[in-house]
Amino acid sequence: VLHVDMDAFYASVELISRPELRGTPVIVGGGSRGVVLSATYEARRFGVHSAMPMTRARRLCPQATVVPPSHGLYSTISAGVMEIFRSVTPLVEPLSLDEAFLDVGGAVRRLGRPAEIGQLIRDRVADEQGITCSVGVASTKFVAKLASTRAKPDGMIVVPSAEVVAFLHPLPVGALWGVGEKTELALTRLGLRT
């Protein structure tokens, strides 16, 4: 199973037509009462993250360029990315515009090992859509999702079946898919940290 997740998707799409902003803090959002839709990794280093109020984001990173969202463009790029996925396997489970699970078991004879397929997808997304993605490769969706998160930005992590426990064991309990701040706090109180 592959979990493929675009890197800072909305911000990356905006940078396609604004290459002069690459390597600088960019926030996609709008208005003083709006929220951050996406931020480049340069802006994230200042603590800016999606769903944050724009006023707070501007305080944390006043030097950032703020770009209004282009929703139609995001849908177009997303459709192109999903088409790449479907050219590899019909077993695509989108989670949002910018991420999906792919069952590549049936594509191995045609395209190679799952890691090779993951690299093929990364290369095609970069070449055809002009953005980067991170890929997690594992025997389950759960582990593949955690691996892609750890691979960010623009990387790939393969977790062989025999190494799943070694991969999971050192991760903080908050890394678990579905564990938010409140659940993490409750688990930490119970002494569960990893």
Question: Would residue 99 show up in a list of annotated catalytic residues for this protein?
Answer: yes
Which 3 state secondary structure label does DSSP give 15?
helix
Radius of gyration of the chain, Cα coordinates, nearest whole angstrom: 18
Q: What letter would DSSP give residue 167?
A: H
Active-site residue, selected from the candidate residues 14, 20, 42, 99? 99
d(CA 42, CA 53): 18
Question: How do strand 92-96 and strand 2-6 relate by DSSP bridges?
Answer: unpaired
Provide the edge-to-edge strand list for the sheet that holds 26-29.
Answer: 36-39, 26-29, 65-67
Going through 105-190 in order, the beta strands assigned E by DSSP cover 133-137, 156-158
Q: How far is it, in rounded angstroms, from Cα 40 to Cα 136?
A: 21
Contacts of residue 72, defined as CB under 8 A and 6 or more positions apart, other chains included, come to none
Catalytic site residues?
99
